[in-house]
């Protein structure tokens, strides 16, 4: 018995190679592909509202719970809802990305999974509107809604990366993250209006309707790529001959079509690049969540801003990310586009005349280093003096710009890992890698959330009351105290250090270059 496996084009599978004609498609197919990419990008942008809207403005809910608490249980427990939600979303992503990646068995059901995630998210908000005890809020807003958002995010983000799998992938991620920052800038004002006008229950139900409409529309716009919808197939031909000496080949006795189940390649885990960048992401994420959580209270307690001004400060923190996410996404595409000899696939790339040649390590270092310096130089030196508000605004804008664009540099990291895999002739699943990077961010968020409470307590023990100079700082003039001399001092230092460590990749790159240089000198 002899067995031969052939493709749908009647070519032996072992001998099949892509032909040059595969790289050229008719204009109608090219236009159709461009329209689908635009649809996927638009859908991904819309999905930022139902996925991140609640989480990015949870501080408004937290403030409402503090002043209008009517549920049974300890109100302070609501402070962990944001941390739990972030942790559930990001830590579940590696598993969901593995499930829905092009190598996974559920890859063809991405849209259905996204719609299921939307249903879970909406159900969680409806249930939370009828909560009577604090644990019900934690279960619905902290866990159930996060699971739904993760299920909505993972399959659609995988499809986005696969539709933009050329030199503009990082730019596509950056544009989507810019829309996320638009959501973070506008939603706090929307939620504040709904809570003040209608109360908690009706506000959550209105938010449910907004979530349902945007999530269904966005999920329908993000179609699954054809390469995923059509699994790899092979035709198995089983033939038999009466003897090896027969001159005439007999007709095949069996002809069956089988689906080949591809396995996720894990070769990239044997190399240090993924671990260096994962450690950098953990450090940066641990510090990034601190200002999001404590900037409002710092503005009111230290710089003595009104509630409206403190809310505006949070908006100023998110607004720069609208521009920086696209900017850093553009920078992160530079190394892959400059090193590639083939023209980019996206039609609009021809209009981009200049791209700086920057590595992924360089772009992450620019983002991390600048945000770390902003924390040390601006946030740490703010005070209740008249200049304190100006410094706090400067910190919100600069830190929001550079730290808000950090996630957009991941496209460059993916490009670097993909290039390294090609040089080693190893397979790599970029969707799975992106899921792992999100998992690293989840670890960082949880770490920062757990560290925030003891750091604030340590600051209070060291400096006493934040503004009025009680405790160990009783003799000091509160008007001259800067951020380092308040209870928030340890938080500021933690934010600056962890942000700087987000640029570890550049140190590793320099070490590799120095090692190559010294080895070459000794060889000579």
pLDDT digits (tens, 9 = 90+) for 88-109: 898 888 888 888 876 657 778 8
Q: Identify which of 309, 494, 458, 454 has the alpha carbon closest to the alpha carbon of residue 396.
A: 309
Tokens (6 digits) for 170: 């990082």
Higher pLDDT, 476 or 179: 179
pTM of this prediction? 0.74
Count Cβ atoms within 10 A of the Cβ of residue 349 and give its class: 0-12 exposed, 13-18 middle, 19 or more buried: middle
Q: What is the pLDDT of residue 329?
A: 75
pLDDT at 340 over 80: no
Look up tokens 């990034």; give the residue. 288
Is the pLDDT at 442 greater than 70? The verdict is yes
Neighbours of 397 (CB within 10 A): 16
458 confidence band (pLDDT: 50, 70, 90): confident
* Whole-number Å distance between alpha carbons of 107 and 102: 6
**By the 8 A CB rule, do 153 and 97 touch?**
no
pLDDT of residue 357: 64
Beta carbons within 8 Å of 510's beta carbon, 6+ residues apart? none
Q: Is 369 exposed, middle or buried (0-12, 13-18, 19+ CB in 10 A)?
A: middle
Q: What is the pLDDT of residues 345-358, one digit of tens each?
A: 444 444 445 555 67
DSSP result, 357-374: ---HHHHHHHHHHHHHHH
What does the pLDDT average to over 411-423?
A: 84
Q: pLDDT for 165-176, tens place per residue?
A: 655 777 788 788
In terms of Cα–Cα distance, which of 265, 308, 194, 282 is closest to 418?
265
Q: Are 217 and 201 in contact (CB under 8 A)?
A: no
Place of tokens 């991390």: 368
Task: Please give the structure tokens belonging to residue 23.
Answer: 């790289």
Which stretches of 360-429 are DSSP H helices?
360-374, 386-404, 410-423
Q: For residue 367, which of 338, 409, 418, 397 has the smallest C-alpha distance?
A: 409
Give the pairing type, strands 233-239 and 2-6: antiparallel
pLDDT tens-digit readout, 249-307: 444 445 444 445 567 778 888 888 889 999 999 999 988 888 877 777 787 777 776 66
Question: Is the distance from CB of 174 to CB of 322 less than 8 angstroms?
Answer: no
Instruction: Place 55 in a pLDDT band, splitting at 50, 70 and 90.
Output: confident
């Amino acid at each position: 018995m002899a067995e031969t496996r052939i493709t749908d084009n009647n070519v032996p599978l072992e001998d099949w190679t892509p032909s040059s004609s595969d790289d050229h498609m008719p204009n109608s197919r090219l236009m159709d592909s461009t329209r689908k990419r635009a649809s996927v990008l638009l859908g991904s942008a819309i999905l930022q509202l139902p996925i991140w809207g609640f989480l990015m403005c949870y501080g408004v809910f937290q403030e409402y719970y503090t002043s209008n608490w009517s549920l049974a249980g300890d109100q302070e427990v609501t402070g962990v809802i944001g941390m739990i939600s972030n942790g559930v979303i990001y830590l579940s992503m590696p598993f969901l990305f593995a499930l829905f990646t092009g190598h996974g068995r559920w890859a063809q059901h991405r849209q259905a999974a996204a719609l299921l995630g939307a249903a879970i998210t909406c159900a969680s908000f409806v249930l939370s509107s009828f909560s009577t005890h604090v644990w019900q809020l934690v279960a619905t807003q902290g866990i159930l809604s996060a699971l739904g958002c993760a299920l909505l995010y993972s399959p659609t983000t995988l499809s986005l990366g696969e539709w933009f799998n050329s030199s503009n992938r990082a730019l596509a991620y950056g544009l989507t993250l810019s829309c996320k920052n638009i959501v973070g800038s506008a939603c706090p004002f929307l939620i504040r209006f709904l809570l003040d006008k209608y109360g908690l229950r009706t506000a959550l139900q209105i938010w449910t309707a907004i979530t349902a409409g945007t999530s269904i529309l966005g999920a329908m716009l993000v179609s699954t790529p054809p390469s995923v919808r059509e699994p790899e197939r092979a035709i198995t031909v089983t033939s038999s001959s009466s003897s090896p000496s027969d001159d005439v080949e007999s007709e095949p006795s069996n002809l069956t079509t089988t689906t080949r189940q591809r396995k996720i390649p894990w070769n990239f885990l044997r190399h240090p690049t993924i671990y260096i960048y994962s450690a950098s992401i953990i450090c940066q994420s641990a510090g990034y969540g601190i200002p999001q959580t404590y900037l409002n209270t710092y503005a009111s307690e230290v710089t003595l801003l009104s509630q409206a001004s403190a809310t505006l400060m949070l908006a100023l923190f998110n607004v720069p990310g609208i521009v920086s996410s696209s900017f850093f996404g553009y920078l992160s595409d530079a190394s892959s586009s400059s090193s590639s000899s083939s023209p980019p696939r996206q039609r609009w790339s021809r209009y981009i005349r200049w791209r700086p040649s920057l590595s992924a390590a360089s772009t992450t270092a620019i983002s991390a280093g600048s945000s770390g310096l902003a924390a040390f130089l601006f946030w740490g030196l703010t005070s209740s003096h008249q200049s304190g508000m100006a410094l706090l605004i400067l910190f919100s804008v600069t830190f929001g710009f550079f730290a808000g664009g950090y996630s957009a540099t991941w496209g460059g990291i993916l490009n670097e890992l993909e290039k390294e895999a090609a040089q080693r002739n190893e397979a790599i699943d970029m969707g799975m890698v992106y899921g792992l990077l999100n998992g690293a961010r989840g670890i960082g968020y949880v770490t920062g959330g757990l560290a925030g409470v003891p750091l604030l307590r340590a600051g209070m023990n060291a400096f006493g009351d934040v503004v009025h100079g009680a405790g160990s700082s009783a003799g000091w003039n509160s008007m001259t105290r800067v951020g380092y001399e308040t209870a928030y001092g340890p938080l500021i230092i933690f934010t600056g250090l962890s942000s700087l460590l987000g640029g570890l990749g550049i140190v590793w790159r320099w070490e590799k270059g120095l090692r190559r240089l010294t080895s070459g000198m000794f060889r000579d």
